[in-house]
Amino acid sequence: MSGASGETLRIFYDGDCPLCRAEIGHYRACAGADRLTFVDVGCSRPAPALGPGLTRAAALRRFHVRTAEGRLVSGADAFAHVWRNLPGWRWLGRLLNLRIFGVRPVLAIAEIAYRLSLPLRPRLARWIARRS
């Protein structure tokens, strides 16, 4: 479901992070990205309006999206929402959302992987910054 402007998701990302910028740059270039709103929450910019339930600090610690209905989701579930809105990635978003006996086991595994990757983010960002 889309908002009044046709927007499906507001994607919050750290524009000061080379890793985040690279990933968001990829999504922006995908078909369907025109229906997404990308909100840079990086500290080198004035604080953007994030809406209820999300602070800049939280948005910098973890990937978040807000649905057209206003629901805030984060982590692997946020990635699944993004992917389901991009035609070339839709299959992966659907895979993460696959329910088996009322449980989304692929999403649970993806969330564990996401949480394990968070401590690596600063190192990956430095590595990407050196390569660019």
Query: Which band of pLDDT confidence, cut at 50, 70 and 90, is reported for residue 8?
Result: confident
Q: Please indicate, yes or no, if residue 14 is contained in any of the structural domains.
A: yes
Q: Please indicate, yes or no, if residue 4 is contained in any of the structural domains.
A: no
Residue 39's alpha-carbon distances to 63, 91, 104, 119, in angstroms, are 11, 25, 28, 23
Share of the chain above pLDDT 90, in %: 73
Query: Which band of pLDDT confidence, cut at 50, 70 and 90, is reported for residue 128?
Result: confident
Q: How many domains does the chain have?
A: 1
Q: Please indicate, yes or no, if residue 3 is contained in any of the structural domains.
A: no
Q: Please indicate, yes or no, if residue 65 is contained in any of the structural domains.
A: yes
pLDDT given for residue 1 in this prediction: 39
Q: Please indicate, yes or no, if residue 117 is contained in any of the structural domains.
A: yes
Q: Please indicate, yes or no, if residue 1 is contained in any of the structural domains.
A: no
Cα atoms in the Cβ-side hemisphere of radius 13 Å centred on 4: 0
- Residue-number span of the structural domain to which 46 is assigned: 9-131
Q: Specify the pTM.
A: 0.88
